[in-house]
Each structure stands twice: as C-alpha cells, then as structure tokens.
Amino acid sequence: MEKRKVINSWISTGTFQDFIDGIFFLTKHKKSSYVCFANVHMVIEAYKDAEFQEILNQADIASPDGRPVSLYMRLFEGFEQCRAAGMDVLPALIERANQESSAVYFYGSTEDVLEKICEKIKQDYPNVRIAGTYSPPFRKLSEEEDQEIVEMINVTKPDLVFVALGCPKQEKWMASHYGKVNACMLGVGQAFLTFTGLEKRLPKWVRDYSLEWAYRLIQEPKRLWKRYFTTNTLFLWLVFSRLLKKIMGLDKKNIPQPSTFTEVKNTVK
C-alpha cells in the first residue's frame, strides 16, 4: 500500500480488499491510527491549507474516495487505481467485523441516525459488538468535556471508531485524537446515512462518470454551489497545468511514498 501524490496529497494505493485488510491490520497492530477518505473536496482543502495538508498526509491510510482522484493516478502515475469510497468501505468493514466479532463505535451525526445504525447492525450483523455511540453537541467542546469523551470511548475498547462530522472537521478531530483514542478512527462523512438507507447510494454509472457532485448540488444548491464551483474548477486547473507539463516533457514522476501501514507491517515481520 504505497502512497502516490495527487496534487499535494499523498493518497494510498491498492485494491479494495487491500484497504479492508490494511484497516484491520491497523486495529491489531497499532494502538491508535486514523484513516481518511479523500475526494476532490478534501484534496483541494488540503492544497489551500498547509495544516490540513499535514493532517491528510500523516493519515495511516488515505483512501481514494472520489473517482477523479483515481483517474488522476491513472493519468499521471500510469496505473489503474480502484475507488475505495467511505460509503462502500463502511459496510465492508462491518461485514468483516461480523466475521471477526469486532467492536465498533460510532461518533457524530444525530441520535436518530445512530439509533438506526444500531438497529441495522443488531439485525444484520449479530456478531458485531456495538461498543457505543455518541452524537456530540454542535459547539466547541471544553478540554474537560473532550477528555471525558476520550475516556468514554476507550473504556468500551472498540476496534473501529467511525467518525461522521464532515470534512475537514472529522479529519481534524481524528488527528487531534491520534494517540488518545485507542482504536482505528475512520472519517466516513455521509456514509452513516447511506449505510442506514436514509440516503440512497447513487447508481454506479453516476459514480463512474464522477457526477455525484451534480446530484448533491441539485439537492442543496444554495449551500454547495460555491464549494463545488471553486473546488472543482481549481482541481481541473491543477490537472490541466500538470497535463501541459507532461505534454511538454517537464513533468516529473512522483517517487512512491510508503504508508504508515507499510512501516508498521515491516516492524511486525
């Protein structure tokens, strides 16, 4: 699971199964870790914010969530990279957790959504232990409150902590709790909603043509038009700029970067 650079972000590579195996490897061999699911929005947020860039690059695994991220790797790195979106990875991890009788914790979203998640897991995945759930208040927590939450999570001894606070808030939360929360933390965003069926997963052809942004824009035009206009435009410009360099023979191939997962794996051998 090497990492390849997409714009300025180091994104992990591998098959879909590699990501599932890698995440479960972290649960067994690393006390605290975090996983990001990088789409165009996240890559551009990182490009504009050096601090957030560091958070994304330091992730144990940075999964290529968006189809454009996968296509970028094919265009500039010369290999076919699958998409491993949080909405697809979450149910696959729950299925694996059911096989291994693992413990899961859900942090974020609303009480109603968390309740539906628990109902679905109890019904469809009886071997999964629900370590706990928590819907944090929509305000900045005090240090005392934050410490209480960390202790509340750790006492349940989860293997996986799924975090749904939205980008970049959830990634910043995971990074700030790295070394504090004793589990593998995963920033899965809207995956809570699709997992419960409260929000339908878009047809495969829509995902394959990278049109998910258009669907969400139609749903919430006032909130999302500015984000998509700026992020998508900047991403396309950066791709075009690098493509132009490639045509002119000025583009330099990135040297693959081993992921933290690889480094941990080597120490275990």
**List of residues 6+ apart from 109 with CB closer than 8 A:** 135, 164, 192, 193
How does pLDDT run across 215-262, given as a tens digit for each residue? 565 666 666 556 666 888 899 999 999 889 888 887 776 777 766 655
Count of domains for the chain: 1
Whole-prediction pTM value?
Answer: 0.88
Question: Residue 2 and residue 14: Cα distance in Å, rounded?
Answer: 8
- Over residues 75-83, mean pLDDT: 89
- Over residues 111-133, mean pLDDT: 97
Say if 268 falls within a structural domain.
no
Show the 3-state SS of 88-109.
Answer: HHHHHHHHHHHHHCCEEEEEEC
How does pLDDT run across 8-35, given as a tens digit for each residue? 999 999 999 999 999 999 999 999 999 9
Which candidate, 160, 175, 161, 172, places its Cα nearest to that of 60?
Answer: 175
Q: Which residue has the tokens 């808030």?
A: 169
Say if 35 falls within a structural domain.
yes
How confident is the model at residue 217, as a pLDDT?
57
Say if 79 falls within a structural domain.
yes
Q: 251: domain range?
A: 2-263
Say if 188 falls within a structural domain.
yes
Q: Would you say residue 269 has pLDDT above 50?
A: no
Question: Residue 228 and residue 60: Cα distance in Å, rounded?
Answer: 27
How confident is the model at residue 128, as a pLDDT?
98
